[in-house]
Amino acid sequence: MPARRESFVQTLRAQWLGQQMRQLREQRGITLKQAAEFLERDFSSIARWERAEWPFRRGVVVSLLDLYGEHDGRERNRFIQLAEDAWRTDRWDDDYDELVDASFIDFPWLESRAERIYSWDAFLVPGLMQTPAYAEAVIRNAEGEGATEFSVGKWLQLRIDRQRVLTRDPAVRVAAIIDEAVLRRPVGGTAVMRGQLHHLGDLIGKPNIDIRVLPSRVGLHAGLDGSFVLFGMPKPYPEVAYAETLGGRRFMESPTSKRYALAYDRLRGVALGRREAAELIAEIKEGLP
């Protein structure tokens, strides 16, 4: 078995926790020196925690909340939960440690906590909406010649596990704008595509899922730079945009995320509505050989 990660990777969770702990300390008029003396630590340790150079431990957060006079149960639980999350990657850590890298671990965390997940998908069906057969074909292509049955199986199970978010309670609002070319791209063969299109047809009727299609007749549009995802997070967390390229993964907060939100709105303005999208998906499925 691979060794469990003990080193810390700076994540959005750790950054948000550090920012909020600093804001709370400053609001209560407490200096770094005073907080350090209370904890019997060097004041530079508090500064490093607040800058997310190292994440707050749960016990430290509890002690500082006491010092800062934060006694509201809901707020205390939120800070404590975030401190616990900053140190773990949920089930991804235990089950997928040999696969996922540091740049990935924020993505499933955002999916599992978001109130809204909006995506523009220019090349493939969004991961949350892929059938196992379609997902396997995509994974095998991404893994290339070095793919093993073990790694393909693990990545496939990871994708299926992530799809649980679609049926969680309370429901998350999921909206996807899919390029028409994606629906016509023969991923995995005819049978795989028929099953995938049928699955999209089923999903489009669910109350928390909105699927739209950008028709091929649209020329220049706001999504020409590639696919992206927008995570609408519960307060006090900011909206986060995510984009993936050959150069790596990027997580972006405001003001950069606003550019993606505006692009999404523009794409939605020229995309087919739900009914027209459902009709096109059915038409493409029926036209398969």
- pLDDT on residue 61: 92
pLDDT tens track for 76-103 = 988 888 888 766 544 444 454 455 555 5
- pLDDT on residue 278: 97
- pLDDT on residue 31: 92
For 196, the token pair is 């995938």
Mean pLDDT of the chain: 87
Q: How far apart (Å, rounded) are the C-alpha atoms in residues 241 and 255?
A: 10
pLDDT tens track for 160-200 = 999 999 998 888 999 999 999 999 999 999 999 999 999 99
pLDDT tens track for 23-74 = 899 999 999 899 989 999 888 888 888 887 777 888 999 999 999 999 988 8
pLDDT tens track for 117-162 = 999 999 999 999 999 999 999 999 988 887 789 889 988 998 999 9
Phi/psi region, residue 46 (left: phi>0; alpha: psi -120 to 50; beta: rest), is alpha
Pairing of strands 209-214, 173-179: parallel
- Cβ(232)–Cβ(242) below 8 Å: no
133 φ, ψ (degrees, to nearest 5): -70, -40
